[in-house]
């Protein structure tokens, strides 16, 4: 009897430590370079998304947890991730925002064969940039990402004395949303209305895989808060009542620190915004964090001050993050191209070319598409054969994008970062780097980059319902 009990305890213990071990990197060295190894197993699991006595939700997860484990390494490391597909369908893993060789980019049929159920796949690449990134599947994305497959990927500078480096705490808020029914079950995917409108926007917002709980802070504390938006379609505009957030990095790349307009921190799907937040309210106060992106603002969470201040006087100058290491485009001699984003409900698009055939909008919708880039709604054939643009390696490029539709689109380019040089005709004084740039309805932006990474790269709206509905293309660098 006692031995049965003992065995069960031992098993429980072994089970718990197996999960922990799976999330710990194995680190080895070759020629000074660190090799950091992780293992990710995809599985359906049930997860207490809502908590508070509500039923658990059936989700798909990496290593049985939401979000997937935080993969952490340093700039200059080699990262090797072994992926075991325990789903009943094909998958891949895409390392969003990382400048890596094309073969490691995780786009099924474009950069690799899909990982079949029961199969494993090894990704390995060097990390050229520090900052906040994330990973997610690029197969059946609307559903796989929407059911919970995504996680943070954080790259530190090699000489960071410790992970916090100038901040009291380095926190991740992995933002996501879910469309749940009354039993906390995830509602089915593939809704046509989502595709032709703003994408699948959920009814339940989570931070780090759970309904938000107040964040306990101490007066005078200096936080680095990494906001990552893993939602399919929900945009966030976070306001920190009685606080002034300072933006210090966008999409992983450091920026000249700035206070965002109206103190609102906008995070479009797939974007990352690192902010410095000085806890400037009084001990024992409670301040609200509200999301005001959509007309119906709501309380996301609260900052709950403990009674013990950390320090009396606020800290001075913000610490400087390492400069970004991206190649600077030569704008004067750049190739210029236009990208027109069109389609969707209330967009006025009459039709588009799909698989070399012009189709009116009704026919397009009957074939599951409603969006186009430069008049082309990407079908499978287009993706495999006809790049939207082909650039000679090393060329500087300016893309002038125009959103001719009634919905916002976070436009993402793989394998590169682009510099946002103007918005709505106004040049930006400190042009930030983005891998995902947000175009609100009717916006125009100009982005510039050096096409220096050879391969066929996806360029798409990061709302997977729009991507699947035609809003994607290939940028080829030869």
| Among 39, 243, 409, 417, contact with Cu ion (rule: CB under 5 A) | 409
Element (H, E) at 428: none
Residue nearest to ligand C2O (CB): 96
| Among 195, 247, 270, 321, contact with ligand C2O (rule: CB under 6 A) | 270
Query: Which DSSP category does 167 fall into?
Result: S
Closest distance between ligand C2O and the C-beta of residue 105, in Å?
8
Q: Which does 419 bind (CB under 5 to 8 A by kind): Cu ion, ligand C2O, none?
A: none
Could you give the C-alpha distances from 99 to 195, 209, 224, 295, in angstroms and in order?
29, 27, 24, 36
Interface with Cu ion in residues 433-462 (CB under 5 A) = 461
Closest distance between ligand C2O and the C-beta of residue 458, in Å?
5
Q: Please give, one letter per residue, the 3-state secondary structure of 318-351.
A: CCCCCCCCCCCCCHHHCEEEEEEEEECCCCCCCE
Residue 412 lies near ligand C2O (rule: CB under 6 A):
yes
Residue 94 lies near ligand C2O (rule: CB under 6 A):
yes
Q: Which does 409 bind (CB under 5 to 8 A by kind): ligand C2O, Cu ion, none?
A: Cu ion
Closest distance between Cu ion and the C-beta of residue 413, in Å?
8
Q: What is the spatial distance between Cα 371 and Cα 383, in angstroms, rounded to a whole number?
A: 14
| Among 96, 224, 234, 409, contact with ligand C2O (rule: CB under 6 A) | 96
Could you give the C-alpha distances from 219 to 31, 224, 440, in angstroms and in order?
45, 15, 36
CB 287 within 8 A of CB 301: no
Q: Which does 138 bind (CB under 5 to 8 A by kind): Cu ion, ligand C2O, none?
A: ligand C2O
Residue 235 lies near ligand C2O (rule: CB under 6 A):
no
Helix (H, G, I), strand (E, B) or coil at 268: coil
Q: What is the spatial distance between Cα 50 and Cα 26, in angstroms, rounded to a whole number?
A: 33
Closest distance between Cu ion and the C-beta of residue 125, in Å?
13
Binding residues with Cu ion: total (CB under 5 A): 6
CB 151 within 8 A of CB 228: no
| Among 460, 463, 470, 473, contact with ligand C2O (rule: CB under 6 A) | 460
Residue 138 lies near ligand C2O (rule: CB under 6 A):
yes
Residue 96 lies near Cu ion (rule: CB under 5 A):
yes
Residue 273 lies near Cu ion (rule: CB under 5 A):
no
Tokens of 327: 């190649």
Query: Which DSSP category does 23 fall into?
Result: H
Q: How crowded is residue 478: how many other Cβ atoms within 10 Å of its Cβ?
A: 12
- Segment contacting ligand C2O (CB under 6 A): 2-10, 15-23, 188-196, 455-463? 455-463
Q: Where do contacts with Cu ion occur on this chain (CB under 5 A)? A: 96, 409, 414, 461, 463, 466
């Amino acid at each position: 009897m006692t031995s049965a009990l003992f065995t069960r305890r031992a098993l429980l213990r072994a089970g718990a430590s197996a999960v922990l071990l799976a999330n710990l990197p194995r680190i080895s060295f070759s020629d000074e370079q660190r090799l950091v190894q992780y293992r990710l197993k995809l599985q359906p699991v049930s997860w207490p998304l809502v908590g508070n006595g509500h039923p658990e939700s059936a989700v798909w997860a990496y290593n049985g947890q939401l979000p997937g484990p935080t993969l952490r390494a340093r700039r200059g490391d080699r990262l090797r991730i072994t992926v075991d597909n325990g789903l009943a369908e094909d998958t891949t893993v895409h390392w969003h925002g990382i400048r890596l060789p094309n073969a490691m980019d995780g786009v099924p049929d474009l950069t690799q064969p899909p990982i079949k159920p029961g199969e494993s796949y090894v990704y390995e690449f060097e990390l050229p940039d520090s900052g906040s990134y994330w990973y997610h599947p690029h197969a059946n994305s609307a559903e796989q990402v929407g059911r919970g497959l995504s996680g943070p990927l954080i790259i530190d500078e090699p000489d960071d004395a410790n992970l916090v480096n100038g901040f009291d705490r380095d926190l991740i808020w992995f933002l996501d949303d879910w469309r749940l029914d009354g039993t906390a079950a995830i509602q089915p995917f593939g809704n046509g209305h989502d595709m032709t409108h703003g994408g699948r926007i959920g009814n339940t917002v989570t931070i780090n895989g759970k309904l938000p709980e107040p964040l306990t802070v101490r007066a005078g504390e200096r936080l680095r808060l990494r906001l990552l938006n893993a939602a399919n379609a929900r945009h966030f505009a976070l306001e920190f009542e009685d606080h002034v957030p300072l933006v210090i990095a966008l999409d992983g790349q450091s920026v000249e620190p700035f206070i965002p307009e109206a103190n609102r921190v906008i995070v479009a799907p797939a974007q990352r915004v690192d902010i410095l937040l000085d806890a400037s309210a009084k001990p024992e106060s409670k301040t609200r964090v509200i999301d005001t992106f959509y007309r119906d603002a709501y309380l996301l969470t609260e900052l709950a001050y403990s009674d013990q201040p950390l320090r009396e006087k606020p800290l001075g100058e913000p610490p400087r993050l390492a400069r970004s290491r991206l190649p600077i485009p030569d704008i004067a001699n750049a190739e210029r191209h236009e990208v027109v984003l069109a389609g969707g409900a209330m967009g006025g698009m009459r039709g588009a070319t799909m698989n070399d055939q012009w189709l009116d909008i009704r026919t397009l919708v009957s074939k599951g598409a409603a969006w186009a880039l430069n008049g082309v709604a990407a079908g499978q054939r287009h993706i495999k054969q006809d790049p939207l643009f082909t650039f000679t390696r090393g060329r500087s490029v300016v893309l002038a994008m125009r959103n001719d539709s009634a919905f916002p689109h976070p436009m993402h380019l793989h394998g590169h970062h682009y510099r946002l040089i103007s918005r709505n005709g106004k040049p930006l004084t400190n042009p930030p780097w983005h891998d995902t740039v947000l175009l609100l309805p009717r916006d125009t932006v100009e982005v510039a980059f050096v096409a220096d990474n050879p391969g066929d790269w996806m360029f798409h709206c990061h709302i997977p319902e729009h991507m699947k509905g035609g809003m994607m293309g290939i940028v080829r660098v030869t």
